Chain A
Amino acid sequence: MSTVLTSAPPAAARPPSRTRRFTQRVTSPWTYAALIAILAGSAFPVYWSFVVSSQTPDAVGSVPPVLVPGGHLFENIARVFDETNFGLALANSVIVSGTITLSVVLFSTLAGFAFAKMRFRGRTLLLLLVVATQAIPTELGVVPLYIMMADFGWAGQLQAVIVPGLVTAFGVFFMRQYFERALPLELLEAGRMDGCGSLRLFWHVALPTARPAAAVLGLFTFMQAWNDFFWPLVVLVPENPTVQTALSTLASGYTTDYTLVLTAATLGTIPVLVVFLLFGRQIVGGIMQGALKG
């Protein structure tokens, strides 16, 4: 930085005036313009999908393309439910994501509590194992996992998607970090003095403390489970789909009705959009703390 100073012409080396410092503090309209443009770009594909789902099918092929919503949204939604098994897909996705979310939150809280506040043999080593497994891409084991599911007779069934998702290393680590900070040992010792067993301590002391972190973990887990594509595509059949695999089947028909496909895409996005509108702040907070990985 000093090189900048010495090489600058004398005129620029004079102490900055009040006005100049002021202009550097105030955000210029260009910044806003750029940010609004980026925001529009972020929202546009989702918005456009909504536009198409509110138009008649011939709107997809019109030049110039339609850019404002029409009045056919409910018609198209009705068509999606009449002509495809999207209703079943939605129900399946709710079951899968709901079960996975509850289970991940419960088991992560249990294990996280044990790792943070209980002493036992091999604790450090086991925790290290949890952290290390976070880095392993599970897609790698997809072939053997499929063979296992076929052997169990689970291929094509929801439990094939649910069971492998019941726990995550990330969840355990995330809850452990939270308990480490948020749960004072004195509270637990007091509980022990009063004759609480470990399970009661967990249920009446740890779980209530964990509520904020468990909510964030649940939020992220739900979104991830809802959006999961690869494994459900591999193990499920088109007759028993989740929302994401139903979309892929819809899009790959011989004569594709794109209004129908994009209406389904819009419908499949609504649950995460609702979660996003309600908890956008928490999601951003979680990412900025490095809590959410893709």
Chain B
Amino acid sequence: MTAPVPKLSFADRRANWDVKLSPFGFISPYFLIFGVFGLFPLLYTAFVSLQKRNLLDAEGAKFIGLENYRQLLFHDPYFWNAMGNTVSLWLLTTIPQILFALGIAHLLNRRLRGRTLFRTGMILPNITSVAAVTIIFAQLFGRDFGLVNWVLSWFGAGHVDWQAGTASSHAAIASMVVWRWTGYHALIFLASMQAIPSSLYEAATLDGAKGHQQFLRITVPLLRPQIIFSTVIATTGNMRLLAEPLLFNPGTAAATGGSDRQFQTAALYLYEQGFSKYDFGYSSAVALLLAIATMLVAGVAYLVTRRIQTD
């Protein structure tokens, strides 16, 4: 702190050392733990993905270059099936989440009695655990005694075997995700809606613009940054769906995402390869490809949402 003077007392020197070194002491726990248990495993994934490394094989790890990737990309229909399911579920979850959230935020942005109750109620699904929620939903979507089929039977539908089909299982899983995350995005949107000056709406009202016109031409364009943010967050989350498909059909076929792999996502395939077949090399290759796919899809989502018109 002070300019160096010829003779420093011990106390002064200690104070100098303190000022210089303690910041590093303060940040070191974070960097040490994160480095060892966060960053290192990430980098190590790339290395393991180039190995033939199976816990169930007696021989240890063997370097095989890009063999895992060649196998995955060109000779593994299960991988492509899982990627297809991932993209399907991404579309079925992300788009409804954002649209419903916009609608709900619009409703919440009015003068309301019991505002706090409504707001906190919206976030209730988000704070419950994904394991509990999925088990509950799996019951609701049961074939014989499920509540959803019971309600559908009023309309003459009913007795859908939700887990059996590709479309029906995707719809059921998507409904869990949408239920869980819509309120979260609605609150993010609500926060920025409240920052929109009311004079804009007053002017629009004077111009004779109806409620839905104001919503589409003022609210949505001004919310563009939050819509982009929410879409990208939802995309990265939904590309990694694992717990929902894993617990939707718990039991022997859990890791395969249904008897026919009809709802096995890429993250679940990673889990199956890594932790039910213990094929660590192959699983790591799936992890890296999934990361690349996620970045690509998030990029697409970003470009699409960026095109929301602004006046």
A residues lining the B interface (CB < 8 Å): 1-2, 4-5, 8, 12-13, 15-16, 21, 24-27, 31-32, 34-35, 38-39, 41-43, 45-46, 48-49, 52, 60-65, 107-108, 110-111, 113-115, 118-120, 123, 126, 130, 133, 136-148, 163-164, 166-167, 169, 172, 192, 197-199, 202, 223, 226-227, 229-230, 234, 243-245, 247-248, 251-254, 256, 258, 261-262, 265-266, 268-269, 272-273, 275-276, 280-281, 283-284, 287-290, 293-294
B294 an interface residue at 8 Å Cβ cutoff? yes
- A145 to B283 Cα, complex, angstroms: 13
Question: Is B145 touching A61 in the complex (CB atoms < 8 A)?
Answer: yes
Closest 10 CB pairs of A and B: A141-B41, A198-B22, A252-B250, A114-B26, A144-B44, A280-B120, A164-B37, A288-B191, A227-B129, A120-B23
| Cβ contacts under 8 Å, B205 to chain A | 16, 21, 24
**Given A4-B213, A119-B23, A147-B280, 10 other A-B residues pairs in contact with their CB atoms under 8 A:** A25-B111, A52-B139, A137-B291, A140-B287, A230-B242, A252-B250, A269-B129, A281-B116, A283-B120, A294-B233
- A245 to B26 Cα, complex, angstroms: 34
Question: Is A148 touching B145 in the complex (CB atoms < 8 A)?
Answer: no
| Cβ contacts under 8 Å, A137 to chain B | 236, 240, 291, 294
B206 an interface residue at 8 Å Cβ cutoff? yes
Interface residue total, chain B, C-beta cutoff 8 A: 102
| Cβ contacts under 8 Å, A262 to chain B | 135-136, 139
Question: Is B27 touching A144 in the complex (CB atoms < 8 A)?
Answer: no
Question: Is B22 touching A199 in the complex (CB atoms < 8 A)?
Answer: yes
Question: Is B145 touching A110 in the complex (CB atoms < 8 A)?
Answer: no
| Cβ contacts under 8 Å, A192 to chain B | 1
B264 to chain A, nearest CB (A): 15
Question: Is B267 touching A4 in the complex (CB atoms < 8 A)?
Answer: no
B62 an interface residue at 8 Å Cβ cutoff? no
Question: Is A120 touching B24 in the complex (CB atoms < 8 A)?
Answer: yes
Chain B binding surface SS class? helix
| Cβ contacts under 8 Å, A266 to chain B | 132
> Which of B137, B247, B283 has most chain A Cβ within 10 Å?
B247
| Cβ contacts under 8 Å, A111 to chain B | 26-27, 29-30
- A12 to B42 Cα, complex, angstroms: 62
- A16 to B187 Cα, complex, angstroms: 32
Q: What string of 1s and 0s marks CB contacts (under 8 Å) between B255-280 and chain A?
A: 00000000000010011001100001
| Cβ contacts under 8 Å, A5 to chain B | 207-208
- A248 to B29 Cα, complex, angstroms: 33
Stretch in B12-20, B73-81, B161-169, B302-310 touching the partner: B12-20
Question: Is B135 touching A251 in the complex (CB atoms < 8 A)?
Answer: yes
> Which of A1, A63, A139, A197 has most chain B Cβ within 10 Å?
A1
Question: Is A172 touching B208 in the complex (CB atoms < 8 A)?
Answer: no
Query: In the complex where A107-B29, A110-B27, A115-B27 touch, is A143 in contact with B208 (Cβ < 8 A)?
Result: no
Question: Is A230 touching B37 in the complex (CB atoms < 8 A)?
Answer: no
> Which of B1, B15, B27, B250 has most chain A Cβ within 10 Å?
B27
Question: Is A140 touching B45 in the complex (CB atoms < 8 A)?
Answer: yes
> Which of A38, A107, A266, A280 has most chain B Cβ within 10 Å?
A38
25 contacts between A and B (CB under 8 A): A5-B207, A42-B183, A45-B140, A65-B145, A107-B29, A107-B33, A110-B26, A110-B29, A111-B30, A139-B242, A141-B40, A142-B287, A143-B274, A143-B284, A167-B34, A172-B30, A198-B25, A229-B130, A234-B271, A252-B254, A268-B129, A276-B124, A287-B188, A288-B191, A293-B233
